[in-house]
Amino acid sequence: MELLPVRLSPGADLRLALETLLRQHGASAAYVLQGIGSLSVAQLRLAGRPAPSELRGDLEILTLAGSLSPDGAHLHMSVSDADGRVIGGHACAGCTVRTTAEILIALLPQHRFRRALDDDTGFPELSIARAHTQD
């Protein structure tokens, strides 16, 4: 496992930046261990809902965690607004960094993650395999 601390700058799309980072490192498996920072826009898909809900304003990232694969990310995030109200869900594309996002990623070079449709859930779920190593 290789730990990769990351800071995203204002205006970055949080989810797209993390998916791009995985490709730039040539990795095929990673976990976001934790993230903090702030957003001006959060796109969160709430439990059981088919589409994301948009929140705008000064938002604090309280938690960010999930998996990264070449097929995309599966990230959960909780944010609080200026009044301290907290909401969380799946972090979708369009989460815009306000001042900073500080994220710790664990790259897993001995694994390959994929997302494949699971007949039981109806969603593309994580498939985990060992990476082939050359001796």
Per-residue model confidence as pLDDT tens for the chain (135 residues): 999 999 999 999 999 999 999 999 999 999 999 999 999 999 999 998 989 999 999 999 999 999 999 999 999 999 999 999 999 999 999 999 999 999 999 999 999 999 999 999 988 899 999 987 553
130: CB partners within 8 A, 6+ apart: 110, 111, 112
For residues 9 and 98, what is the distance between their CA atoms, to the nearest angstrom? Answer: 8
Question: Which pair of tokens denotes residue 3?
Answer: 């730990």
Q: Cα 20–5–69 angle (5° rounding)?
A: 35
Q: What is the value of pTM for the model shown?
A: 0.91
**CATH number of 2-111, picked from 3.40.47.10, 3.90.1150.10, 3.30.1330.80, 3.40.50.970:** 3.30.1330.80
Cβ neighbours, 10 Å, residue 68: 27
